[in-house]
Amino acid sequence: MPAAAPNSVRAADRLARRLAEAGCRFAFGIPGGEVLTLIDALARAGITFVTAKHETAAAFMAEGV
């Protein structure tokens, strides 16, 4: 896979930044695969990722917050 250009911005970073600007402070889900890039971007944007064991549990946690 080719390396990213030095000044390029990942889509995950843009998404995380927009979520943070919108007031999002927590994200819930199951880490793994492609999600790891997003989890890294969320952390850089100041959003806490909360790990769940099941997608339904993550949805309930998000609704509770």
- What distance in Å separates the CA atoms of residue 20 and residue 46, rounded to the nearest whole number? 7
Q: Which residue has the tokens 């843009």?
A: 14
Tens digits of residue pLDDT in 11-55: 999 999 999 999 999 999 999 998 999 999 999 999 999 999 999
Residue 31's SS3 state is coil
Instruction: Supply the pLDDT for residue 8.
Output: 85
CB-based contact 16:44 (threshold 8 Å)? yes
Query: Positive or negative CA dihedral for 61, 53, 31, 11?
Result: negative
Helix (H) or strand (E) holding 51: strand 48-51
Q: Which residue has the tokens 């080719």?
A: 2
3 — pLDDT class (breaks 50, 70, 90): low
